[in-house]
Amino acid sequence: MLTIRGIEVTQGIQYYRADQHLTDPSDRGPDNSLTLVANKPAWVRVYLETTTPGVIPNVTGKLNVDYGLLNLQSGPGITLDPQPPGQVAVQYAPDYVTTRTSIAATLNFIVPADRMSGPLVLNASVTNGNGTETATLSVYISPSLRQTLRLRGIMIGYNGPDPGNPANNLIIAAPGLADLQTTAAWALRVMPVQSNAVFEAASTLTRSMALTGMATNGGCATGWITLNAAIATAKTADGNHPGFLYYGLIAASFPNLSNNGGCESSGVSSGFDGGQVALAHEVGHACGRAHAPCGGVGTSADPSYPAYEPYDTPTARVASIGEFGLDITTGAVPTPTTARDYMSYCGPGWISIYGHNALINNPALNPEQVGYRRPWWRDYVHYDPWWWLHYKPDPPPYWVDPESIRELKTRMQRVISVTGILHADEHVEVLHVTRSEVLSTELAGRMTDMAVVLHGTKGVELASGTVVEMSSQGECGCGGNATPARPSLFQAFVPDIAVGTALSIRRGRKTLWKRIALTSAPAVNRPKVQRQNGDKMQVTWSVRWPRGAVRDTWLRVSADKGQTWRAIATGLIGNDTLIDLTHLPSGNLLLEIVVHDGFRSIASEPVELEHKATPPIPAILHPHPKRPLVAGETLHLWGSVARQPGASHETYRYTWTLDGKQVGDGLQVFSRVPPPGSHRCELFVQDLEGKILRKCHIDFASISADDARV
């Protein structure tokens, strides 16, 4: 008799009959108990058996997806057909591991991202080829947690000596927003976040030094820590926006003489354009994850990482993922026998049970509850105990003060930011001293016993801020058992209440570093702007620097008449720069140059700029041009767009073509991989009348199933 043995709903990794393979009961969980997130596709694997010896061929079926009780949405459900090949030969007493490992051993359905929200009822029904045997089973899921990866990229280029031939000067352009999106593709696959991330450009940064040094013990080389110091300064220049992760996206051909492929320093991360696994690894650190225990991570390994037996043991750690995974782009199944947590230095990498749970309700991923219909008064009372003031006559009665219910405007705080490196010999190296405004003065890291002090006349202490030490963790092939906690990055925010006469770093009464204010300040003129062809604009200015100034220059923009500012470019060299207009918000803007002499920060008179709204910048996250797909299997066309800051989401359409033929609308479309050969998919951004505004494409290859097995 045909029967449904069970249903697994997965977006990357999931429990299913864990007692059949995990030997330690403490490692097991009930079926489908790993949290599903909203607005990300889920694969539904329907496990079939026959209760009598033999094989039932050509079993197919349907999956109805209905809104459950208390779902915010209402209306008819949807009926899904199985993914290719659309049928399965059902076995008697199938082997558990063989069935779990092979996607072809189950009947598979894909619930689209826009349906994955709130309580849902999945009703699976299957039948054999002639309809004489049927079976049904229902499961209830509740993908009500929506998490969003929000990245602000610092785009990093190079203008400096060629390490292979120092007589030559290399100029390497910084990556763009499309590059940031494609580099984040693997992170969006493995992490429990919705499919659509938020991508914005925080700054462009040009460096003149190659990345150097050798990292050990899971740390970062000195060159990377110095780079992250510049990224931390760019983050400050951008206003230190809460809710975003700042990622320094380095041009792919940037000179790298170190053994790091990425580095995270308690709130700022960096990695190369195209380094998809490195981005996921560094973002994992930014979410609070330590290294998983495999490879040369040394003492940086997370001591709480479980040994998933029988795949792992407490004495010989390999960072097994613990369960059978699933890649929502292809249906590939990473197994706990071979797959390793991507926070280790072993591969192939995937998300683990432990890693998945560590990222659920993680503050760095902006968790929010969606999809549930709740009694309205609960939310009002929880978030606003004065909710009843919103339901008042106009004008309000005399006893209600309207000021009590007005929303407060965004408030920036003026700070002196001091960033540098703490060395093992207690030497303090200050790299950047700047003054600007930030939305948040929160700094991730360890509070030290050191403080940055702003002095007035006769050495009077005017203000101070605690030095925060930022531990650095790398994505590399480094190893060893040494435990160098330093060199390490540090940053401090001091209230900018006066110019002052000196800055110092002190531990108790001992002064570790001190800088005296110059007798004269730099002067900078109003910048000039000139639009170039395409989406570029040239900005020029001039500066009069006093002798002894530690020179640093920023370009900033304001979209609210100077109330708040954000960075466009930092670490500028010379008196001109070419900026990407797609990084700017629309409207009446102000542009200003800010120069820093190592103590003061002086802003130019701003120049006005009228900037029109620009369409989103598209990128294709899947397929990947270098990874062939198997003809006839599921084709996941997955796109992303980086919208202009503040732009509406509702004014554009997204359309896909495959080899010139339209195959669907939206940022995600599921189709079938075409016959063996070379193919092109294109993603179009259109206005509501169908005019093409932007487009992108990738070429990929498909191969036969026989070639895939070779």
pLDDT, one tens digit per residue, over 110-123 is: 999 999 999 999 99
State the pLDDT at residue 651.
Answer: 84
- 99 DSSP 8-state letter: H
Dihedral (Cα; 395, 400, 405, 411), 10-degree rounding: 110
The C-alpha atoms of residue 482 and residue 299 are separated, in whole angstroms, by: 8
Confidence tier at 645 by pLDDT (50, 70, 90): confident
Architecture in CATH of 2-146: Sandwich (2.60)
State the pLDDT at residue 481.
Answer: 40
The C-alpha atoms of residue 417 and residue 240 are separated, in whole angstroms, by: 11
CA 258 to chain CA centroid, Å, is 24
State the pLDDT at residue 334.
Answer: 98
Greater pLDDT, 108 or 480 = 108
Greater pLDDT, 355 or 402 = 355
For 395, residues 6+ apart whose C-beta sits below 8 A from its C-beta are none
305 close to 319: Cβ distance less than 8 angstroms: yes
Q: Where are the domains of the chain?
A: 2-146, 293-346, 372-405, 523-611, 617-709
288 close to 358: Cβ distance less than 8 angstroms: yes
Q: Is 128's pLDDT higher than 80?
A: yes
Q: Is 482's pLDDT higher than 50?
A: no
pLDDT, mean of residues 224-231: 95
Dihedral (Cα; 547, 548, 550, 556), 10-degree rounding: -20
The C-alpha atoms of residue 378 and residue 525 are separated, in whole angstroms, by: 55
The C-alpha atoms of residue 242 and residue 345 are separated, in whole angstroms, by: 30
State the pLDDT at residue 393.
Answer: 52
The C-alpha atoms of residue 317 and residue 296 are separated, in whole angstroms, by: 12
State the pLDDT at residue 385.
Answer: 56
Q: Is 31's pLDDT higher than 80?
A: yes
For 535, residues 6+ apart whose C-beta sits below 8 A from its C-beta are 580, 581, 582, 614
CA-based max dimension of the chain: 96
The C-alpha atoms of residue 330 and residue 42 are separated, in whole angstroms, by: 12
Tokens linked to 637: 């066309």
The C-alpha atoms of residue 453 and residue 461 are separated, in whole angstroms, by: 7
Of the chain, the percentage scoring pLDDT greater than 90 comes to 83
Confidence tier at 708 by pLDDT (50, 70, 90): confident
Q: Is 124's pLDDT higher than 50?
A: yes
Burial letters 387-405, b for 16+ CB under 10 A, else e = eeeeeeeeeeeeeeeeeee
128 close to 102: Cβ distance less than 8 angstroms: no
pLDDT, one tens digit per residue, over 583-636 is: 999 999 999 999 999 999 999 999 999 999 899 999 999 999 999 999 999 999
| Conformational region of residue 14, where left means phi above 0, alpha means psi within -120 to 50, and beta covers everything else | beta
pLDDT, mean of residues 656-685: 97
498 close to 462: Cβ distance less than 8 angstroms: yes
Confidence tier at 267 by pLDDT (50, 70, 90): confident
Based on DSSP, count helices (H) and strands (E) in the chain, helices before strands: 8, 44
Confidence tier at 4 by pLDDT (50, 70, 90): very high
Dihedral (Cα; 507, 509, 511, 517), 10-degree rounding: 110
Dihedral (Cα; 287, 175, 487, 432), 10-degree rounding: -100
Q: Output 98-106 pairs: Cβ under 8 A, ≥24 positions apart.
A: 99/47, 100/16, 100/21, 100/324, 100/333, 100/335, 101/324, 101/333, 101/335, 102/333, 103/45, 103/326, 103/331, 103/332, 103/333, 106/8, 106/45, 106/46, 106/47, 106/48
Confidence tier at 405 by pLDDT (50, 70, 90): very low
Q: For Cα atoms 81, 84, 88, give the angle at the middle one, nearest 5 degrees.
A: 90
State the pLDDT at residue 647.
Answer: 73
| Distance linking the first and last C-alpha atoms of the chain | 36
CA-closest candidate to residue 90, choices 129, 137, 138:
129
Domain 523-611 has CATH 2.60.40.10: yes
* Averaged pLDDT score across all residues of the chain: 92
State the pLDDT at residue 483.
Answer: 42
For 28, residues 6+ apart whose C-beta sits below 8 A from its C-beta are 15, 18, 19, 22
Q: Is 682's pLDDT higher than 80?
A: yes
| Strands of 402-540, DSSP E | 413-422, 428-438, 446-455, 461-470, 472-476, 488-495, 502-507, 510-516, 523-524, 528-531, 536-540
Tokens linked to 492: 């401090």
User: Domain 617-709 carries which CATH code?
Assistant: 2.60.40.10
The C-alpha atoms of residue 261 and residue 18 are separated, in whole angstroms, by: 35
pLDDT, one tens digit per residue, over 133-177 is: 999 999 999 999 999 999 999 999 999 999 999 999 999 999 999
**47 to 2, 104, 261: CA distances (angstroms):** 11, 11, 41
Q: Is 182's pLDDT higher than 70?
A: yes
Amino acid at 53: P
Helix (H) or strand (E) holding 336: none
Q: Is 187's pLDDT higher than 50?
A: yes
pLDDT, one tens digit per residue, over 345-396 is: 999 999 999 999 999 999 999 999 999 986 555 555 555 555 555 554 555 5
State the pLDDT at residue 379.
Answer: 52
Amino acid at 407: E
Confidence tier at 424 by pLDDT (50, 70, 90): confident
Q: Is 407's pLDDT higher than 60?
A: no
**80 to 104, 135, 461: CA distances (angstroms):** 18, 16, 69
State the pLDDT at residue 196.
Answer: 96
Fold identical between 2-146 and 523-611?
yes
pLDDT, mean of residues 446-452: 95
**597 to 540, 569, 600, 641, 703: CA distances (angstroms):** 19, 17, 6, 38, 59
Three-class SS string for 24-69? CHHHCCCCCCCCCECCCCEEEEEEEEECCCCCEEEEEEEEEEEECC
613 close to 598: Cβ distance less than 8 angstroms: no
